[in-house]
């Protein structure tokens, strides 16, 4: 005979066990608020209730979005921002790491700022701050992005040289307003002036630690060299307009590397945060500005990033931060555990599931569902201000977007075997959603003008291209065979078919002059 044993079980464990206690959805009144003051996203999975997002009952208006690549994060953000602009007249500032919002922003009538392609930010712009405060911010940015923290002497030298540059430009170190005696706005110095100041000190000689001086110069020169001086020229954008110009995206894909991108993103967040504070508290319906950080893990992950500050203070200014990442652990905990709403798209890795479940406390039922979600399907967690006796995580059938889906087809008819051709069940073409195809091709290294060329080919040819021609085209763009193979596999083409495609492609290329290739593709 066994002993009956009483065990301690935490509430959380208990809640996770049984989904039948209560349906896993909040009551309708929490999901369905006034459509003129909330944003429609999609219908709930279990009771089919339209879910209108609003932050009135939530701890704050910030959103975190997680999910594997291709699960629907960016699509959701676009849908969400489009509706927010309609409902609340909200502005948005998107920090676009990979340039993936560019076309959408353009087609939505917004402004695209392409850094590295004709647009500049002067790092020494004060953006409504006193030069003294701006210097602190610049140094903080250098601390996040470079190793300057390990060299206190270099930090001091850099600080002094920036200060000197402001003073030479007649800036008052403790003033927000910078005007000359006739009332004209003063022009901010740039990093080039700072480097010049350091170089002068070096040439003058007699400084106790010349190596420290040299290293400080070297560090800053990374940002002042011709062709890399994106942050060392006068700004071409009007910082005052960033937060109230509708839809604005800062395209960072033209910058040479991650450090440059992070430098731009961190600086913009600093300017935006200052603008937010300066604008002060205003009574307003809905969100004034959404700041979007998509896949910007360096920025979302660092606790000294102003993203954290926007999360802490945003609510009272009606500013909302949207962070999206394929890896939830890349989002700083101060952000992830404090956002009012989390949208969880498909997540596969156990480690990430553990982390999300640990933070949001949903049931094992929801966890299981999350690992099986399709594109555009998600779980939503909301942090209500009132202690709720209903589940705060529920499932949404599908984010209902506004854009029509456009499909492109790769025709495989010419590479099927006789037997396959006779079999009516074998598909004659592979369908790929346009944006998905562009994204993949971009991932495998094609540039924007090549993507444009491919898109216009599909459009010209009624959305169908013969798969052999497609492969020849990719080879012409310099894509290696192993990459093309991987790409075709991503598109769901069978291995045996891929081999046939290459054989046919080689044959065609050898029997044509290079000028003919484009014609072959167009004629096909
Ligand atoms: N809710 C949805 N409805 C229709 N298509 C969607 C939906 N969500 C995503 N897609 C499509 O799926 C692809 C991947 O979505 P995307 O948002 O770029 O994924 P992620 O940003 O998570 O990598 C895109 O082509 C997008 O248009
Ligand atoms: Mg994305």
Pairing of strands 63-66, 341-344: parallel
Kindly report which listed range (181-185, 296-300, 402-406, 409-413) carries the lowest average pLDDT score. 402-406
CB of 67 shorter than 6 A to ligand 1: yes
Q: Which residues contact 447 (CB under 8 A, 6 or more apart)?
A: none
Q: Which ligand is nearest to the CA of 104?
A: 1
In this prediction, residues 82-100 reach a mean pLDDT of: 92
Number of CB atoms found within 10 A of residue 502's CB = 17
Average pLDDT over the chain reads: 89
Question: Greater confidence, 234 or 4?
Answer: 234
Range among 113-122, 383-392, 479-488 rated most confident: 479-488
In this prediction, residues 355-375 reach a mean pLDDT of: 95
110 C-alpha vs ligand 1 centroid, how far in Å?
A: 21
pLDDT value at 496 more than 80: yes
- Residue 1: what pLDDT? 46
127 C-alpha vs ligand 2 centroid, how far in Å?
A: 30
- Residue 518: what pLDDT? 65
With beta carbons less than 8 A apart as the criterion, state whether 26 and 382 touch. yes
Question: Greater confidence, 141 or 33?
Answer: 141
427 C-alpha vs ligand 2 centroid, how far in Å?
A: 29
The CATH architecture that domain 37-119+240-396 belongs to is 3-Layer(aba) Sandwich (3.40)
- Residue 514: what pLDDT? 57
Question: What are the angstrom distances between the C-alpha of 395 and each of 44, 49, 201, 363?
Answer: 6, 11, 63, 12
In this prediction, residues 352-372 reach a mean pLDDT of: 96
- Residue 327: what pLDDT? 93
Task: Report the residue among 63, 71, 75 best suited for mutation to probe ligand 1: largest number of ligand atoms under 8 A from its CB.
Answer: 75
The model carries a pTM of 0.74
Three-state DSSP class for residue 191: helix
Question: What are the angstrom distances between the C-alpha of 371 and each of 9, 378, 436?
Answer: 26, 10, 21
Range among 114-118, 273-277, 304-308, 349-353 rated most confident: 349-353
Tokens 């406390």 belong to 361
Distance CA(107)–CA(357), nearest Å, equals: 37
In this prediction, residues 98-127 reach a mean pLDDT of: 89
Residue with the smallest CA separation from ligand 1 atom 1 is 376
In total, the chain counts a number of residues equal to: 524
69 C-alpha vs ligand 2 centroid, how far in Å?
A: 7
With beta carbons less than 8 A apart as the criterion, state whether 254 and 117 touch. yes
In this prediction, residues 36-40 reach a mean pLDDT of: 93
Tokens 């216009």 belong to 456
CB of 73 shorter than 6 A to ligand 1: yes
pLDDT digits (tens, 9 = 90+) for 196-207: 999 999 999 888
CB of 69 shorter than 6 A to ligand 1: yes
- Residue 522: what pLDDT? 61
- Residue 512: what pLDDT? 72
CB of 70 shorter than 6 A to ligand 1: yes
Inter-helix orientation angle 467-476/495-510, to 10° = 70
What percentage of the chain reaches a pLDDT higher than 70? Answer: 92
pLDDT value at 513 more than 80: no
67 C-alpha vs ligand 1 centroid, how far in Å?
A: 11
Q: What confidence tier does 19 reach under pLDDT thresholds 50, 70, 90?
A: very low
Kindly report which listed range (74-88, 231-245, 441-455) carries the lowest average pLDDT score. 231-245
Question: What are the angstrom distances between the C-alpha of 26 and each of 44, 346, 360?
Answer: 10, 21, 15
CB of 71 shorter than 6 A to ligand 1: yes
pLDDT value at 337 more than 50: yes
CB of 375 shorter than 6 A to ligand 1: yes
With beta carbons less than 8 A apart as the criterion, state whether 219 and 157 touch. no
In this prediction, residues 94-120 reach a mean pLDDT of: 89
pLDDT value at 405 more than 70: no
Q: What confidence tier does 18 reach under pLDDT thresholds 50, 70, 90?
A: very low
CATH code of domain 131-221:
1.10.8
What percentage of the chain reaches a pLDDT higher than 90? Answer: 63
Q: Which residues are found with C-beta within 5 Å of the ion, ligand 2?
A: 73-74
Among left, alpha and beta (phi > 0; psi -120 to 50; other), residue 9 is beta
pLDDT value at 57 more than 70: yes
Kindly report which listed range (12-21, 285-294, 482-491) carries the lowest average pLDDT score. 12-21
In this prediction, residues 492-520 reach a mean pLDDT of: 81
Ranges for all domains in the chain classified under CATH 3.40.50.300 = 37-119+240-396
With beta carbons less than 8 A apart as the criterion, state whether 187 and 122 touch. no
The DSSP secondary-structure symbol of 119 reads B
Residue with the smallest CA separation from ligand 1 atom 11 is 72
CA 286 to chain centre: 23
- Residue 422: what pLDDT? 87
In this prediction, residues 490-501 reach a mean pLDDT of: 90
pLDDT value at 55 more than 90: yes
Ranges for all domains in the chain classified under CATH 1.10.8 = 131-221
pLDDT value at 384 more than 60: yes
Q: What confidence tier does 106 reach under pLDDT thresholds 50, 70, 90?
A: confident
470 C-alpha vs ligand 1 centroid, how far in Å?
A: 23
In this prediction, residues 75-102 reach a mean pLDDT of: 93
pLDDT value at 12 more than 90: no
């Amino acid at each position: 005979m066994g002993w009956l044993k009483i065990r301690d079980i935490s509430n959380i464990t208990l809640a996770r066990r049984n989904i039948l206690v209560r349906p896993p959805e909040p009551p309708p009144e929490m999901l369905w608020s006034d459509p003129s003051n909330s944003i429609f996203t999609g219908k709930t999975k279990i009771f089919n209730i339209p879910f209108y997002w609003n932050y009135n009952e939530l701890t704050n208006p910030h959103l975190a979005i997680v999910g594997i690549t291709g699960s629907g994060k960016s699509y959701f953000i676009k849908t969400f921002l489009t509706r927010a602009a309609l409902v609340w007249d909200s502005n948005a500032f998107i920090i676009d790491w990979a340039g993936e919002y560019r076309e959408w922003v353009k087609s939505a009538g917004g402004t695209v700022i392409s850094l590295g392609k004709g647009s500049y930010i002067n790092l020494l712009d004060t953006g409504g701050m006193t030069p003294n405060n701006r210097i602190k911010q610049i140094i903080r940015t250098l601390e996040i992005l470079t190793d300057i923290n390990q060299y206190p002497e270099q930090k001091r030298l850099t600080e002094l040289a920036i200060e000197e540059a402001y003073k030479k430009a007649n800036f008052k170190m403790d003033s927000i307003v910078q005007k000359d005696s006739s009332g004209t706005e003063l022009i901010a110095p740039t990093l080039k002036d700072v480097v010049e100041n350091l170089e002068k000190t070096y040439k003058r000689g007699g400084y106790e630690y010349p190596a420290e001086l040299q290293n400080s110069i070297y560090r800053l020169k990374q940002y002042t060299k011709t062709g890399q001086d994106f942050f060392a020229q006068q700004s071409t954008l009007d910082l005052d307009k960033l937060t109230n110009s509708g839809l604005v995206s800062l395209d960072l894909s033209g910058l040479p590397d991650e450090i440059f991108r992070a430098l731009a993103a961190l600086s913009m967040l600093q300017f935006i945060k200052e603008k937010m504070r300066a604008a002060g508290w205003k009574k307003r319906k809905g969100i004034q500005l959404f700041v979007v950080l998509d896949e910007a893990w360096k920025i979302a992950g660092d606790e000294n990033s102003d993203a954290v500050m926007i999360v802490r203070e945003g609510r009272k200014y009606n500013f909302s931060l949207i962070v999206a990442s394929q890896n939830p652990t890349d989002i700083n905990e101060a952000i992830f555990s404090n956002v009012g709403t989390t949208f969880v798209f498909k997540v596969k890795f156990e480690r990430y599931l553990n982390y999300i479940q640990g933070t949001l406390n949903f049931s094992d039922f929801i966890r299981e569902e999350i690992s099986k979600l399709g594109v555009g399907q998600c779980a939503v967690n909301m942090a209500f201000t009132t202690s709720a006796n209903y589940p705060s995580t529920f499932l949404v059938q599908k984010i209902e977007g506004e854009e029509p889906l456009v499909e492109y087809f790769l025709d495989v008819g010419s590479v099927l075997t006789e037997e396959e051709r006779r079999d009516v069940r074998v598909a004659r073409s592979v369908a790929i959603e346009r944006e998905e195809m562009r994204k993949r091709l971009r991932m495998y290294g094609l540039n924007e003008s090549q993507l444009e060329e491919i898109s216009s080919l599909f459009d010209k040819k009624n959305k169908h291209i013969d798969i052999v021609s497609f492969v020849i085209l990719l080879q012409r763009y310099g894509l290696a065979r192993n990459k093309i193979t991987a790409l075709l596999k991503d598109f769901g083409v069978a291995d045996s078919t891929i081999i046939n495609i290459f054989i046919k492609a080689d044959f065609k290329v050898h029997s044509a002059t290079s000028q003919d290739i484009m014609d072959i593709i167009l004629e096909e």
